[in-house]
């Protein structure tokens, strides 16, 4: 069940964006110093060369990855905040459990009152059509006022029921609209984490150089690979526009429609990233499309749908802490 206070979430997202902007600024300052050091031709020798290798192939890729992650997360946070405004601009707090309880109670109350109202109107109809001697014993005008009052109460309850129904449905729409917002941030963060961990284990030798011989440099290349896959994914989204599908939407297509969709994806990759086409065809890469949806190559170009991964709401505040907390 979803429960959050709109104002608090938006305030925390704004504060996180301020912190992310600060982190990016500090990282960029550090990157500039890296560049100055690496480009200094007067600094030569074993120790200096080792230091330059360390900076160019380990520190710089990590700094670049952090910079891009900050940009992606700021954009994602803004998208999440906009989605809250779009779907719940008229409420202060989302409380799905409470809304469902209120909705069910109102429906039960409406059904009970409506049953009484129908009986009352039927009774009033019989009285109105009765003989004059019988009518004298009833306050017809008073009964009509009661009927109008009951009708007004029913209308108010019906409006409340409709409000809860619409807003409960909007929770599902919000879940769908925000399910993939942090997919690229997650992907890049997962690549950066191991690199940062390795940087913390590299020591300086007696000759002043860095002990990097035993370091698995693939971790730093993985950052660049993740950035490329994100670029491809973003290009696919921009090229397909409203035709870009979520995992659930793709899974709902007929098999021939799935093949057509896959072909469109492959054509975009071929057009804008020809150097990746062979890697894709040989099964060397997987391109993230949406949560649980990846473009990959097995016996043929296909899309892998992880149907066991339900679309759930990752509250943006917790998602930021989770992503940054991983490293």
Residues 111-157: tens digit of each pLDDT: 998 898 888 888 877 776 655 555 555 666 787 888 889 889 999 99
The tens digit of pLDDT for each residue in 49-108 reads 888 888 888 889 999 999 999 999 999 999 999 999 999 988 889 999 999 999 999 999
pLDDT reported for residue 284: 67
**284 or 190, greater pLDDT:** 190
**208 or 97, greater pLDDT:** 97
pLDDT reported for residue 305: 47
What's phi and psi for 326, nearest 5 deg?
Answer: -65, -20
- Show me where the domains of the chain are located: 1-218
Across 77-203, where does the E strand assignment appear? Answer: 93-95
The tens digit of pLDDT for each residue in 224-268 reads 989 988 998 899 989 999 898 877 788 888 888 888 888 888 888
pLDDT above 90 covers what percent of the chain? 26
pLDDT reported for residue 201: 79
Nearest to 303 by CA among 210, 240, 227: 240
Indicate the Cα dihedral angle 150, 155, 157, 162, nearest 10°: 160
Indicate the Cα dihedral angle 95, 15, 228, 257, nearest 10°: 20
Q: What global pTM score does this model have?
A: 0.77
């Amino acid at each position: 069940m979803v429960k959050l206070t709109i104002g608090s979430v938006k305030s925390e997202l704004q504060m996180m964006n301020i912190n992310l902007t600060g982190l990016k600024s500090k990282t960029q300052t550090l990157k500039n110093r890296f560049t100055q050091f690496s480009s200094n031709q007067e600094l030569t020798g074993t120790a200096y060369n080792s230091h330059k290798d360390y900076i160019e192939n380990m520190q710089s890729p990590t700094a670049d990855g952090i910079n891009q992650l900050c940009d992606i997360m700021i954009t994602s946070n803004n998208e999440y905040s906009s989605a809250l405004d779009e779907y719940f601009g008229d409420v202060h707090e989302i409380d799905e459990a409470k809304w469902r309880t209120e909705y069910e109670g109102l429906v039960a109350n409406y059904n009970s009152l409506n049953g009484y109202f129908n009986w009352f109107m039927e009774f009033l109809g019989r009285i109105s059509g009765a003989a004059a001697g019988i009518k004298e014993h009833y306050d017809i005008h008073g009964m009509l006022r009661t009927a109008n009052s009951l009708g007004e109460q029913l209308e108010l309850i019906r409006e409340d029921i409709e409000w809860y129904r619409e807003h409960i449905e909007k929770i599902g729409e919000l879940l769908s609209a925000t399910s993939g917002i942090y997919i690229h941030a997650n992907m890049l963060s997962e690549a950066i984490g191991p690199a940062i961990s390795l940087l913390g284990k590299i020591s300086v030798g007696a000759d002043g150089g860095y002990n990097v011989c035993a370091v698995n440099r693939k971790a730093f290349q993985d950052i660049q690979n993740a950035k490329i896959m994100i670029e491809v994914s973003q290009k696919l989204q921009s090229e397909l526009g409203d035709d870009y599908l979520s995992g659930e939407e793709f899974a709902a297509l007929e098999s021939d429609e799935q093949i057509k969709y896959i072909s469109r994806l492959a054509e975009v990759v071929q057009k804008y990233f020809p150097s990746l086409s062979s890697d894709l065809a040989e099964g060397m890469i997987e391109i993230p499309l949406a949560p649980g949806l990846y473009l990959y190559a097995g016996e043929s170009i296909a899309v892998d749908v992880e149907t066991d991964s339900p679309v759930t709401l990752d509250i943006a505040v917790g998602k930021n802490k989770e992503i940054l907390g991983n490293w």
